[in-house]
Structure 1
């Protein structure tokens, strides 16, 4: 570990950051529309992105700075368990290939901006729509905060901030500057900003990963030595627990946890509002289909990325340091192994990898509030211009909230809340995905199933302790009936589905009102260019 500020790396990092800042503001003029004061333009980029823009946007959206830091950190700390992220992305894309084009088509026909818009139109239920919207906002907030954790890890390794003894203003000033710039160009350019910056972000990440998996093993004596070092570490018994620190291959008693976590995460991936936002910005149904076919290329990158955790072990990162923060393992590995200038490139990849998803997440959360809270309950006659302005302001509030959260709360608490967010967002799957194929479920039954899944998942997660916290210390617990340890989110999802199915039968038997469905079967296969069923009123000319 190098002492003080790594000046060459910091200069390179700052240059890349300045470049993407300029791109962010220039994005307001990229494919500029005649009517910019509309959520279709600010919040969905005009629904005009082609295959490659959508591919980079979704890649920049789904593979975040926290992915860059946390996946190898989990491999560094626990071994094979950290590789769950690779099969879950492989499972996810065939699933979304089935349902995401249908969501695009019906959203195109009816002008839906959020998944909660679709739920409102499909089931005629304001309450169910509100539940989906609030769940999306709730699950997104800690996710945005974790992008800050990724930036902070980079700044810590760079030596920026004056060290642990510096006052809070000096220590956190670089983070304030980064998010002030992010807030400014997101407010100005909307979704076009992260779409344009995603080209830079993804190019840098691919470059860094390719160099890392070739150059670092050469310096460390090859992959054989890397795996030997990892095996030696994980075979060491933790005196506190009496168990090995980890494993290169998941033990039989850990396989249920591994499999259910991968499956549950795959089901949840495109339930996050920012994932849907990236997909709805595509210009055609075929664009969405092509992207679900080519996005697995990122899974290959993710596998290489996970290997960095083993490399950090072989490089001695954190060795002998009691309570070492595993989140620093990859940034520290880059600083130790790479020349200073290329370490700056790697740090820029992580830093920009935080800005892109943070921008999309804040836009998605703002759209949910505007469409499904503000317009639905507070101002039903809100014009497109008013909706856009509210979304812009809420996107700023969301970013400020995430910044305040990460500066005032323990970082481990932010990580735990993100795990909880995954459990929560999975509970919207039944309402959204089932609704794309069938109207069989009753709206009240879906709301009850959602409530049971949310309640059970939160209650069980609250009771899970870890070495650093008494509550929300993990996302795995015993599966009822089976008794195996598995992913809590998937267990809650199964309960959600069962409750929704049983109550649907009961409510239908009693003739409970179904609610109006504003969609028709043809909406779910609509192609680009077909007219929309519902159009917002034209934007009035501004006064004065």
Structure 2
């Protein structure tokens, strides 16, 4: 029954992808990647929510609580809530900048504002580099979900099937398929999470689960944990909407006001997190010996839900990962064909992007099989690099005059330092390494921007 329900929803998702293409004929590059800037508030809302509340919600958040204790998940909630006000004010400006420069990708914005080929290449290259862990994140989550639900297949087959499905969605109608499937995915994900949380409360008791879990994990934060949580919330909130795929999602909207309307409603999704906490605490309280912390949520689901509902949970988890995977691919494809290979004719960019997407999927699969990680580690790794774009994006949005060389040096300094500090396992008393690197990024940018000017006014 579980498999039948799961396959039924997957087939239905393919139908939605095909349905999304009707009435649009042969898609142009802009239509394929950003829907010709035609999406209304509902489609933008579901598309953005599909990227935000993904497989990481069902796997990474409960896995972090299971592995590190409940206090470790505080930042997960905090940075998303802190990001929404930023999205309300910055999202419309990102859309306006995209319309001004006819942009499809994040590097298009840098190219349009700064007029620097070197800066465009640097942003394009580092975007691809730091999105590799995000692709690995989705595959890791998909493997954990399907294995946690009792599907004892070789991980190789699981990731290959997942990659094939993600590519199929993209090939049918690009971002339009993602938007339509996102509606189904959100319904399934919310029902799956709420159903599992309710089952825990109904069959094990909320008070009993919390009490049993509190005997095994600490609910107190020491000073180091508090500094980590607060600094990580700030750092990742700043990087939340400069993710290449998040920027591209904004470009699909038909107006700046459409963005504002979607951001107002986004926090409603946070109501499902208490149910995820319940599932995590259940896994802790029952002393479940899991192969990986990433299986915490699904361990609760398997033990408490009937087979048909498990099929729904499986479909919700799978579509959550597949949808984000498709979104990443739709961001990386045009980055290569438009920014790394700018001479490619527009009519060939879509086909070229599909080839790039296949290569990206293969690389992500290889990383997933070679170096499986706790999902929280993968989330942090991507943010270390991507958030360093934030100062450069702010300059674009507010039409400030800053030398492109200064922006480039700042980004390189921040990304290089973040990687070095992470490799050395440096400790700043719990302060997020990425935030330290972002501060250096800003310092280098300011110094590099003003030092040449000061030199010119000095007497000979």
Return the index of the structure with the highest Cα Rg: 1
Pick aligned residue for 1:300 from 254, 268, 271: 271
Q: Deviations over 1:508-537 (max 9, x none)?
A: 22459xxxxxxxxxxxxxxxxxxxxxxxxx
Contact 2:169-2:178 within 8 A present in 1 as well:
no
1:303: Cα distance to partner? 4.6
Pick aligned residue for 1:428 from 389, 392, 409: 389
Query: Structure 1: any 5+ residue segments left out of the alignment?
Result: 1-7, 163-167, 235-246, 465-476, 513-544
Q: Deviations over 1:416-470 (max 9, x none)?
A: 4542221000111111123211423221111111111111101010012xxxxxx
Alignment CA distance shift 1:262-1:414 (3 Å): closer
Alignment CA distance shift 1:110-1:452 (3 Å): closer
Pick aligned residue for 1:349 from 304, 311, 316: 316
Residue aligned with 1:127, SS: helix
Partner residue, 2:400: 439
1:353: Cα distance to partner? 0.6
TM-score by length of 1: 0.80
RMSD: 2.0
In structure 2, C-alpha distance between the alignment counterparts of 1:209 and 1:341, rounded to whole Å: 15
1:148: Cα distance to partner? 1.2
In structure 1, C-alpha distance between the alignment counterparts of 2:200 and 2:430, rounded to whole Å: 36
Pick aligned residue for 2:414 from 439, 442, 453: 453
* Number of aligned positions between the proteins: 456
1:114: Cα distance to partner? 1.2
Alignment CA distance shift 1:157-1:485 (3 Å): closer
TM-score by length of 2: 0.94
Partner residue, 1:489: 434
1:25-174 alignment to 2 at 5 Å?
25-29=18-22, 31-32=23-24, 35-36=26-27, 38-78=28-68, 79-162=70-153, 172-174=156-158
1:76: Cα distance to partner? 1.4
Pick aligned residue for 2:251 from 273, 280, 302: 280
1:161: Cα distance to partner? 4.1
In structure 2, C-alpha distance between the alignment counterparts of 1:433 and 1:67, rounded to whole Å: 28
Contact 1:154-1:351 within 8 A present in 2 as well:
yes
In structure 1, C-alpha distance between the alignment counterparts of 2:311 and 2:294, rounded to whole Å: 18
Contact 1:69-1:150 within 8 A present in 2 as well:
yes
Residue aligned with 1:233, SS: coil
Say yes or no: does 1:18 pair with 2:6. Answer: no
Q: Deviations over 1:102-155 (max 9, x none)?
A: 110121132111121111111111111222112211121221122111111122
Say yes or no: does 1:248 pair with 2:210. Answer: no
In structure 1, C-alpha distance between the alignment counterparts of 2:350 and 2:407, rounded to whole Å: 30
In structure 1, C-alpha distance between the alignment counterparts of 2:374 and 2:268, rounded to whole Å: 32
Residue aligned with 1:180, SS: helix
Residue aligned with 2:431, SS: strand
Residue aligned with 1:412, SS: coil
| Greater helix share, structure number | 2
Partner residue, 2:445: 500
Partner residue, 1:269: 240
Query: Structure 2: any 5+ residue segments left out of the alignment?
Result: none
Contact 1:73-1:330 within 8 A present in 2 as well:
yes
Contact 1:191-1:360 within 8 A present in 2 as well:
yes
1:271: Cα distance to partner? 1.4
